[in-house]
Structure formats: structure tokens, C-alpha cells
Structure 1
Amino acid sequence: MSFAHFPPMPDFPPGEVWLAGAGPGDPRLLTLLALHAVSAADDIVHDALIDPRVLTLRRDGAELIPAGKRGGRPSPHQNEINGILIDRARAGRRVLRLKGGDPFVFGRGWDEVLALAEAGIRYRLIPGITSGLAATALAGIPATTRDTNHAVVLAAGHRADDDQSSADWVALARLGQPVILYMPMTQLAGITVALMKGGMAADTPAALLHAATTEQEKVVDSTLARLVEDAQVNGIGSPAIVVIGAVAGLRRQVLSGLVGWR
């Protein structure tokens, strides 16, 4: 393998903050630019669900700073994380904010970018593979097909303590499009009831995708009405992605030829 014809990687100057997506979990799903950032940073401010093998790719002497926000567990407030990024950058450090998935898909990347911009800190954004689309693809579930849908809804299934907004599930059901839920397990019962109230059929195909791309990965086929029961029976907890819609039922057609990604 040769990278001789690739464009050169950008310099990571002292005093900058780079926000990078680490993808859905498995280190092999890092982008090349995210890998470059990990290996060049002085400080890595990382989420809780970053695979430890990703962090071993850091250079000697790089400092790891945990900043994961886990539902129901003690975790730093967003203002604290913003302050760490700003203070470290002002101290002349090369600061990498490493997030699971993509920084701008339910990752609070915008909060951090806004804080950096207001503080006059230079920053770079490095997209990552978002877990909702990665988990579905690896399970043999297409996000869209020509025959089923030309749109898909990505929705946060949890409600953060400091976020008083929540999805209007009844309205989303009426769109008639598949819904991919991120981290929905604590609210799953209420979500399923609301979607059925909005007109989504109880027998709508669904799938529970637990810990995608890890050794603990588990996929359970279900329906909208059975999601909560099937999650309990199969021991599905966080982290999880839930897919609801016609696309979730398509995987049965291709399982015989699906090669395990690991």
C-alpha cells in the first residue's frame, strides 16, 4: 500500500483545536485524517465510548483527557469541556477533541465550535462515520432504497438533562419515512407508543442494533410493537441504535451472503 499520490496531511499547529469524529467504534473505521490528528495531538479530549485501541495510536507524551457524557452517570458539563479546549489551546497545545461517530450528528460539536469561535481559537473539523448509518449498513440494512424510501429520519432517542427539547414523535411518524434512533433505550417505550399514535403500524419492521462494530455487537429483528419486549428478552441496552421502517425488514433477503465485517 502506497500513499505517495495522496495529498499531504495538514499541519497541526500549536494553539489549534481539531474536532474529529472517531466513527462508530472499530478503529479500522477511522478516517485517515482522524488518524493523523490522533498521532499529532498534544492533548486528546475524548468521549467515553472511544475504542481504547484508537487512543493507543497517540504519540508518546500526548495527554488523554476523558470528557465523556454518559446518561445517568456523573460527567462533565458542556461548559467545562468548552473551557478545557479553550484553556489548552491558549496554552499553546495541539488539542484534539475526539468524538464518537461524527461531531455534528448528535455530538454537540456545534456547541464546542461556537465556544471556540467566540474565544478566537482556530479550529478544524474532521467528519466521521456516524453510528446510525454505520450500524445499519453493517447489519445489512440500507438507509434508503429506490423501492422503499427517498428520505430517512435521524433522531436522538434520549433527552439530555440540560436539553428541554424533544422530538415530536407523532409528527415524525406521519412523515412515512424510516426512523433511525440514536441512544433510545431509556425512552424506547414512550417513543414506540407515540409513533403508533402518529399512525405508524404496529407491525412496521424494526431492528435493535447493540454495540455495533464491537465484540459485543448484537442485532435483533423486531417490529415497532415488539421493540421493548424484544430488547428486554435479548438483553439489549446502551449503546444501541434502533431502526424502524420498511428498510429494517430488508436484511432478511441478504443475510445468506452477508460476510461478517470483522
Structure 2
Amino acid sequence: MAEHPAYPVGLRLAGRRVVVLGGGQVAQRRLPALVAAGADVLLVSPSATPSVEAMADAGEITWERRRYADGDLADTWYALVATSDHAANEAASAEAERSRVWCVRSDDADAATAWTPATGRSEGVTVAVLTAEAKDRDPRRTAAIRDALVEGLRDGSLVAPQHRTRHPGVALVGGGPGDPDLITVRGRRLLAEADVVIADRLGPRDLLDELPPHVEVIDAAKIPYGRFMAQEAINNALIEHAAQGKAVVRLKGGDPYVYGRGMEEVQALADAGIACTVVPGISSSISVPGAAGIPVTHRGVAHEFTVVSGHVAPDDERSLVDWQALARLRGTLVILMGVDKIGRIAEALIAHGKSADTPLALVQEGTTAAQRRVDATLGTVAEAVRTHGVKPPAVIVIGPVAAMNPTTPDRT
């Protein structure tokens, strides 16, 4: 047997009996995939890890708290032998051979009749990697190959064309705070499959260079008709290209639903009868402070954080923000799009009772190579912005956490 390569096959185990002997770390790693496959799993083991025990308590598997006994593999389709008792493993393997049950041995792969491949999944595709022959078995190498293939499929660097009919539509993809590595796996995959990308100025621009030459990239910041008509023009562009049967990605900075006007675009597409998928993104309101060493919450310091748009000043009749209520909060206040209004915002908060000494930090171009942090207080922030020339995009953090750093004593 050792001279012949293994024959790869996919087992359809839904509703079929699978026996696992041993409730240790091997079982803990293998059981979730068996449960996901719909197998009727029987675990035979005197003890189990807490995670395995939780699966039994949840009814995902049946657990008989005892040692292996001859006959346990009767009417079984597949067996995983993973106890710490070598004699029991030998006996169970022998029963599997007699009963013609495919059997995996965690303690002796050469004695097994089946091997567990290194597996990974990406959007409906399962990648399984096996060593060709027993003498060449190298679990680390097979796992590394598996990881490389799955990562390539997920991030779009390994593009496998789909030959089945694609359904055109629009995906609203949150690109994250700016660093191209912080887009979600699904967002990056959809980018790789797009025919048209309509991109915001604050989206992860570096990803656009990775797109194939045939992909049409439209700069949303340069869509005509002026500022007032810009959103309507973007909606029309999404509808127009999707109606032509193209796969369209609307690439936004941060998250589509956090000051991204994503719902307006979804509603316009729905009115036009065009399917739309929303892919959440990492919001700059949390990620940019984190990248600058600021936690928006911390035990004993801040039990809440509030995110506010600062594009409208507190004394503007269009403002929907209750600045008086915000001034009373003891937690963290995060302001987006507020650099040019921060002086008036600070004055309003102080007027409503917030201390002028409240720590404040401005993080410009967060998560990118141009990131910089400027520290101030509510009372000094207007001058700090002028002195340091802080420009949008910048995230403003107000509260005790803005004065924290990794060496700050823990307050409990």
C-alpha cells in the first residue's frame, strides 16, 4: 500500500454514521468539519476537551463516556481513531478493516486506510491537499499549500474564471480605513471579479492598481454635474452599468452604512430592480484610533463610545446632533468629518459643561503610510489644527482614552 498514492475523494456524510474515538485535541479539530458535513457523529471517549463537551451539550454530536469496545464501528461509514491508548487504536483499526470502514489513525498514518487532507474553503469551493505518497507525508507543507491556495482565492490574487452564468448586480463594498490590507476577504474577492469599479476618494486606492486591464475604474469624485448632483450621478452610473449585465463594485472608504450614504444607493438600485449586495467594512471610527494606539473603550476608563458626524457645525440649523447631551457623556466621543469645524465643536462642548482640559487626539490619514497623530485638549484643539496644519481625512477622539498609551496604568 505504501508504494501507491492515495486516491482523493469527497465523502458525502450527511445523515450517515461517523464514529470518533477519543475526545482530545485531534477530535476538537476534526469534529466541526464532520458536523458541518451533516454527519451523524458518535463520540466514544471517557473524557473530552471543554470545546468537545460543549458540542455534545449543544446536541451537535452524541457522546458515550466510555472506552472503545469491539463492535463500536458497526454500521459506520467513516471512523476517526484518536485515543491515547495505542492498543485501543490497534483494535479499532482492525475492526474497521474487517468491517470495510474507512478509518483515519491519528497515531499511525501508515496503518490507516484513509488520510485527512489539509482543507480550506472559499465561496463554495473546498480545497483539499494530500501528500501523494506515504513516504512523502509532510503535514506542514500540505497545510502551507492549502493556505496559499485559499488565500489566493479569497483575496483575488488567484483568479479562477467562472464558466457558469454570472448574475449581474452591484456590490457595495466597504474598503476599510485606507490600508489596502484592511479590506475584508469578501470585498477583495468581489473586486477581483468586477467588470466596473466606482471608487470613492477615501477608498483603498492601492487596490485599484491590482485590477486586470479590462476592468473599468470610475472615480466617483469626478462624476460630473457638480456637488449637489454628485450622489444622483453616482446612483445613475451604478444603475447604468448594472443594467448592461456587468458586475459592478461600488468601493467606499470605511463602512458603506457609516456616513457612506450606502442606503441611498441601495434604495436607488432597489427602485431600478437591480440586485445589490452590501459588504461591511472596517469603520475608521474604531480602526483609525486603534492604529494610533487609542482604544475607544477601556476598562475603568470608558464604558461607551459615541460616533458623530462633524460636517455640520453645532450652531448650524441643519445639525441633528444633541451637543448638550454629548457634553454630559463620560465615555469617548469620536468625530468624523469634523476637522474644519472642530473649533466650533469644542466651543459648544465646553459651553455645555465639558472641561476644556479634556484630552483630544486628531489622527490624520489613519492606517496609511502618511498617518500622523496630533494631541491636544478641547481648549487647545483649534490652535493645534492651525499650528500643525491638520487636514482631512482625520478622525478626532475626545475623552480620557485619548491620553492613554501602552504604559498607562490600568484603572479598575
User: Normalising to structure 1: TM-score of the pair?
Assistant: 0.87
Q: Amino acid of the residue matched to residue 253 of structure 1?
A: T
Deviations 1:97-131 (A, max 9, x none): 00001111111111111111222111111111111
1:6 counterpart = 2:148: no
Q: Who is 1:128 aligned against?
A: 281
Q: In percent, how many aligned pairs have the same letter?
A: 38
Deviations 1:110-160 (A, max 9, x none): 111111122211111111111121111011110111212221011111139
Alpha carbons 1:139, 1:251 under 8 Å: kept = no
1:242 counterpart = 2:396: yes
User: How far did 1:27 drift?
Assistant: 0.8
1:50 counterpart = 2:203: yes
Write the mapping of 1:144-183 to structure 2, written as runs, cut at 5 A. Answer: 144-159=297-312, 164-183=318-337
Q: Amino acid of the residue matched to residue 327 of structure 2?
A: A
* SS across alignment from 1:37: helix
1:36 counterpart = 2:189: yes
Choose from 364, 379, 392 the match for 1:225. Answer: 379
1:18 counterpart = 2:133: no
* SS across alignment from 1:116: helix
Alpha carbons 1:22, 1:50 under 8 Å: kept = yes
Q: Who is 1:60 aligned against?
A: 213
1:186 counterpart = 2:301: no
* SS across alignment from 1:59: coil
User: How far did 1:222 drift?
Assistant: 1.2
Write the mapping of 1:106-117 to structure 2, written as runs, cut at 5 A. Answer: 106-117=259-270
Choose from 223, 237, 246 the match for 1:93. Answer: 246
* SS across alignment from 1:146: coil
Alpha carbons 2:203, 2:254 under 8 Å: kept = no
Q: Who is 2:159 aligned against?
A: none
User: How far did 1:24 drift?
Assistant: 0.6
1:210 counterpart = 2:364: yes
Alpha carbons 1:21, 1:34 under 8 Å: kept = yes
Write the mapping of 1:69-88 to structure 2, written as runs, cut at 5 A. Answer: 77-88=230-241
* Cα gap change, 1:234 to 1:9, in 2 (>3 Å): farther
* Cα gap change, 1:240 to 1:119, in 2 (>3 Å): same
Alpha carbons 1:68, 1:76 under 8 Å: kept = no
Alpha carbons 2:308, 2:333 under 8 Å: kept = yes
What is the Cα-based RMSD across aligned positions, in Å?
Answer: 2.3
Cα distance in 2, alignment partners of residues 251 and 76 from structure 1: 44
User: How far did 1:215 drift?
Assistant: 2.1
* SS across alignment from 1:253: coil
Choose from 137, 154, 173 the match for 2:290. Answer: 137
Q: How many residues align?
A: 247
Cα distance in 1, alignment partners of residues 252 and 119 from structure 2: 29
Deviations 1:162-201 (A, max 9, x none): x934422222112332110112111111100111112111
* SS across alignment from 1:5: strand
- Report which structure shows greater RCO (CA 8 Å, sep ≥6): 1
User: How far did 1:74 drift?
Assistant: 5.1
Q: Amino acid of the residue matched to residue 23 of structure 1?
A: G
Q: Who is 1:258 aligned against?
A: none
For structure 1, the 5+ residue unaligned runs are 255-262
For structure 2, the 5+ residue unaligned runs are 1-117, 126-161
Q: Amino acid of the residue matched to residue 215 of structure 2?
A: A
Cα distance in 2, alignment partners of residues 215 and 9 from structure 1: 36
Cα distance in 2, alignment partners of residues 122 and 205 from structure 1: 46
